[in-house]
């Protein structure tokens, strides 16, 4: 009995110890970036073979002062958050309705449409980048908010996540609402949506991170400096001489703060949503 208990405790210790080591490995680049953002330029790459590289030497906020001096960070954050907010609002509403229709309504061509959506999920963005840009140019939408928002409202991946989640909702619940006189639209907004917080949170996080980190598409369609997004602003530190890696690290830390804060507060819903939506690694 004691042997089994000791083995269980040893197994639990090794499990948590191993996970802790893996977590440290994954988070170490972030720790080094934060440390480097407080260092002078000459000391960033010093002692790279030692653990002291993760400790700021003579810490200073000069790098952050330079970032806010070179970039109108308030305007950059406003531009980025505005276009991401618009995408998220349309994405969560439209794609959830599409996923619900595919999961709970039987209509001609439903299976074919679902197969088409799954097939489009494997299509990389690079494959449609050029024709999409040509279309935006011909519409006269280059350097406008419409070019950032409209092409990304409908997402196959979001539809499929909503479909997987809504498919597991008992049909009896929906039928009971219909018997009580609730219309399909009312049932969706008043019953289905409130019990689907996890999948909405998951799609919210994935979309937020994807568009917050997106560089290529904003780089192509947003040509005005007053309309730059956060990643375009960070990239300007690489293209403007002199290139100071200390300032780059500070800019990267500033750009990462919203994602870190969001994930800290929403990680519970993210994990539950991934598990309940059937997405496996």
CATH classification number, 71-276, choose in 1.10.287.470, 1.10.3720.10, 1.20.1300.10, 3.40.1410.10: 1.10.3720.10
**How high is the pLDDT of residue 16?**
84
**How high is the pLDDT of residue 98?**
92
Mean pLDDT of 8-31: 83
**How high is the pLDDT of residue 279?**
46
Q: Which pTM was predicted?
A: 0.81
Confidence of residue 242 (pLDDT cuts 50, 70, 90): confident
d(C-alpha 89, C-alpha 13), whole Å: 44
Confidence of residue 272 (pLDDT cuts 50, 70, 90): low
Mean pLDDT of 155-182: 88
% residues pLDDT > 70 (the chain): 93
The set of long-range contacts for 257-260, using a CB threshold of 8 Å and a minimum separation of 24, is 258/212, 259/208, 259/209, 259/212
Confidence of residue 176 (pLDDT cuts 50, 70, 90): confident
Mean pLDDT of 12-35: 85
CA atoms within 13 A on the CB side of 214: 25
Q: Do residues 80 and 217 touch, judged by C-beta distance below 8 A? A: no
Give residue 280's region: left, alpha or beta (phi > 0; psi -120 to 50). beta
Mean pLDDT of 207-214: 90
Sequence-distant (≥ 6) Cβ neighbours of residue 229 within 8 angstroms: 76, 79, 80, 83, 148, 214, 218, 222
**How high is the pLDDT of residue 280?**
43
Confidence of residue 159 (pLDDT cuts 50, 70, 90): very high
Best CA proximity match to 193, nearest among 157, 162, 153: 162
**How high is the pLDDT of residue 85?**
94
Best CA proximity match to 68, nearest among 249, 272, 247, 246: 247
| Pair of tokens at residue 227 | 């309309």
Mean pLDDT of 193-218: 89
Mean pLDDT of 34-42: 83
pLDDT in tens, 69-87: 888 888 999 999 999 999 9
**How high is the pLDDT of residue 139?**
92
Please tell me whether residue 264 adopts helix, strand or coil conformation: helix
Average pLDDT score, the chain: 84
Mean pLDDT of 238-247: 78
Confidence of residue 97 (pLDDT cuts 50, 70, 90): very high
pLDDT in tens, 106-156: 888 888 998 888 888 888 888 888 899 999 999 999 998 899 999 999 899
């Amino acid at each position: 009995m004691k042997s089994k208990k000791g083995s269980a405790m040893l197994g639990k210790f090794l499990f948590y110890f191993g996970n802790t080591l893996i977590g440290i490995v994954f988070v170490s680049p972030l720790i080094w970036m934060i440390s480097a953002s407080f260092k002078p330029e000459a000391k960033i790459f010093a002692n790279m073979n030692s653990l002291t590289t993760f400790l700021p030497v003579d810490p200073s906020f000069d790098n952050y002062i330079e970032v806010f001096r070179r970039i109108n960070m308030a305007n950059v954050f406003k531009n980025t958050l505005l276009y991401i907010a618009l995408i998220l609002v349309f994405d969560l509403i439209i794609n959830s309705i599409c996923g619900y229709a595919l999961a709970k309504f039987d209509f001609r061509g439903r299976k074919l449409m679902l197969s088409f959506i799954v097939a489009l999920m494997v299509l990389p963005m690079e494959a449609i980048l050029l024709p999409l840009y040509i279309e935006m140019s011909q519409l006269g939408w280059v350097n406008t908010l419409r070019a950032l928002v409209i092409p990304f409202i409908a997402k196959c991946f979001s539809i499929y996540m909503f479909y997987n989640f809504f498919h597991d909702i008992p049909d009896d619940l929906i039928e009971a609402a219909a018997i009580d006189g609730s219309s399909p639209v009312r049932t969706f907004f008043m019953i289905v949506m409130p019990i689907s917080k996890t999948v909405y949170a998951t799609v919210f996080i994935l979309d937020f991170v994807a568009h917050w980190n997106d560089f290529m598409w904003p780089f192509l369609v947003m040509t005005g400096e007053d309309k730059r997004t956060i990643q375009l602003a960070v990239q300007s530190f690489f293209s403007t001489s002199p290139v100071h890696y200390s300032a780059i690290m500070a800019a990267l830390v500033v750009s990462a703060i919203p994602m870190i804060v969001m994930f800290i507060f929403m990680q519970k819903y993210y994990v539950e949503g991934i598990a309940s939506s059937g997405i496996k690694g």
